[in-house]
Amino acid sequence: MVLAGAAFFGNVAVAKTPSPQLETVALASLPSEAQATERLIRAGGPFPYTQDGRSFGNRERQLPAERRGYYREYTVKTPGSRDRGARRIVCGGAQATAPDACFYTDDHYTSFRRIVQ
């Protein structure tokens, strides 16, 4: 009985959470530090912080839903900050140096804007 129920429910489609509608921002209008980080991403580094290039979990669900490991995060230097600060670029895609999309946050993942050329 349990196996039959599992087989039945295994075929039920689960609704996906809709992707958030994100504003866009031109790369040229971002702070110079963000532009420099974007160039480093496309060049494959070297990155100033050991955390750069690590997987970003999208736990806040501010970015479109993707498989685990799809997103990577990179620090955008914040002048005057004694730590990494709140600014990040998060990119998604199979190839780190040619991402499908990149997103900028200046408030430590509270909000994102999709970067456009």
Active site residues: 73, 108
Which of 27, 14, 116, 17 lies closest to 59 in space, CA to CA?
A: 17
Round to whole Å and give the CA distance between 117 and 36. 14
* DSSP classification of residue 93: S
In the chain, DSSP assigns E strands to 23-26, 54-55, 71-75, 88-92, 101-105, 113-116
